[in-house]
Amino acid sequence: MSTIVFISPKGGAGKTTAALILATQLTRAVAVTIIDADPNRPIAAWASAGKAPKNLTIVSDADEENILERIEDAAKRTPMVIVDLEGTAAKIVLLAVSQADLVIVPTQGSQLDAEQASRALKVIRQQEKMSGRAVKYSVLLTRTNPAIRTRTMAHIERGLMGAGVPIFDTELHEREAFRAMFSFRRTLADLNSAEVGNLEKAMANAEAFALEVVDQLSSKRGNATAPAAAVEMA
């Protein structure tokens, strides 16, 4: 079983979108629980249309008090557990990170976003200190332009890599289909390509992301610790 936790103190970084993309992709192979720990319950709202895959369980009553219990229970029921948290760094983030096999830090391509991402790395480092165990984590660049690599993005990537921060090879591109999942409350596979532009490209992007997550989970290589240099970027 694996627990994957999405964190980023920056609101709108793409946590919920990436978490839902990953969860729905993984359900093609295994049963998944998604713990919607954002008090706004965006995943529960998405599932309320009744179009969620049968092997996707949504837990929507998680809070600071019960998050450890909810993750533990979910891990007993399904091989994959995904936790989506609200933006603000708080105790619940530390608690969820303490249970993670992989922490994903979604980040958009601006300097401000990158600085916020290093706040997330601080949380990982804090948790590592508290628990004495290394936490596997990786930054996920989100909402990137599939056609153009901006200078800012290249600069941010160099900064992260130079500081030894792992970054997913796969980026989640800015795609109408990823927004449409929420507006139509469907999985990518259930969207209509006549209504949603570039659906196939979005699906290929989602699949590449899920495959890379599975690959990271199975790789023995853990990050030693969140590098101090990266944390100092904040």
CB 180 to ligand ATP: min, Å: 9
The distance in angstroms from the start CA to the end CA of the chain is 33
- Tell me the β-bridge partners of 105: 139
Q: Which is nearer to ligand ATP, 13 or 80 (CB)?
A: 13
Contact region with ligand ATP (CB under 6 A), list: 63-71, 90-98, 173-181, 218-226: 173-181
Q: Which is nearer to Mg ion, 38 or 157 (CB)?
A: 38
- Residue 125 interacting entry, from ligand ATP, Mg ion, none, C-beta within 5 to 8 Å by type: none
Among 2, 3, 8, 16, which residue interacts with Mg ion (rule: CB under 5 A)?
Answer: 16
Site map (CB under 6 A) of ligand ATP, residues 209-228, x = contact = --------------------
- Residue 143 interacting entry, from ligand ATP, Mg ion, none, C-beta within 5 to 8 Å by type: ligand ATP
Q: Is 15 in the site for Mg ion (CB under 5 A)?
A: yes
Given a contact cutoff of 8 angstroms between Cβ atoms, the answer to whether 75 and 3 are in contact is yes
Given a contact cutoff of 8 angstroms between Cβ atoms, the answer to whether 31 and 55 are in contact is yes
CB 39 to ligand ATP: min, Å: 10
Q: Is 174 in the site for ligand ATP (CB under 6 A)?
A: yes
Q: Which is nearer to ligand ATP, 16 or 187 (CB)?
A: 16
Q: What is the CA radius of gyration of the chain?
A: 17
Contacts with ligand ATP in 107-146 (CB under 6 A)?
142-143
CB 38 to Mg ion: min, Å: 5
Pick from 97, 125, 124: which is nearest to 4 by CA?
97
DSSP collapsed to 3 states, 118-177: HHHHHHHHHHHHHHCCCCCEEEEEEEECCCCCCHHHHHHHHHHHHCCCCECCCCEECCHH
Minimal CB distance residue for Mg ion: 16
Q: Is 175 in the site for Mg ion (CB under 5 A)?
A: no
Q: Is 182 in the site for ligand ATP (CB under 6 A)?
A: yes
State how far the Cα of 147 lies from the Cα of 131, in Å rounded to an integer: 42
State how far the Cα of 98 lies from the Cα of 204, in Å rounded to an integer: 31
Specify the 3-state DSSP secondary structure of 33: strand
Pick from 131, 103, 128: which is nearest to 2 by CA?
103
Binding site for Mg ion (CB under 5 A): 15-16
Binding site for ligand ATP (CB under 6 A): 8, 11-17, 38, 86-87, 142-143, 172, 174-175, 178-179, 182
